[in-house]
Amino acid sequence: QLLRELEALCVEVGFGSLRELDDAELATCCQRVAEFESQVSTLRKQLFADIDSLSKELVRRYRTSTSSVDTLLDGR
């Protein structure tokens, strides 16, 4: 999904013809790319926060379980 959005943005702002853009168009292009990067960065931060939460929960479950890690991983 993000790749499609980036590709559409590149077409929309004229990445194929950057040398032909005037100063205002180039400024708009830079702003749009910065906004897209900010959205991706926010999503990335949320994904890593979710990964951290899941990792903490796995550790908690391993520590409180009477099974060994090997048993849990083997699905026994």
Domain membership flag for residue 74? no
27 Cβ contact list (under 8 Å, min separation 6): none
In a domain, 38, yes or no: yes
Per the prediction, the chain carries an average pLDDT of 87
Q: Does 71 fall in a domain?
A: no
Structural domain that includes position 52: 2-65
pLDDT of residue 63: 85
3-state SS, one letter per residue, for 63-75: HHCCCCHHHHHHC
At 72 the pLDDT is: 66
What pTM value is reported for the model?
0.67
- Asked whether residue 72 is assigned to any structural domain, the reply reads no
Token pair of 33, please? 């790319």
Confidence tier at 65 by pLDDT (50, 70, 90): confident
Number of separate domains in the chain: 1
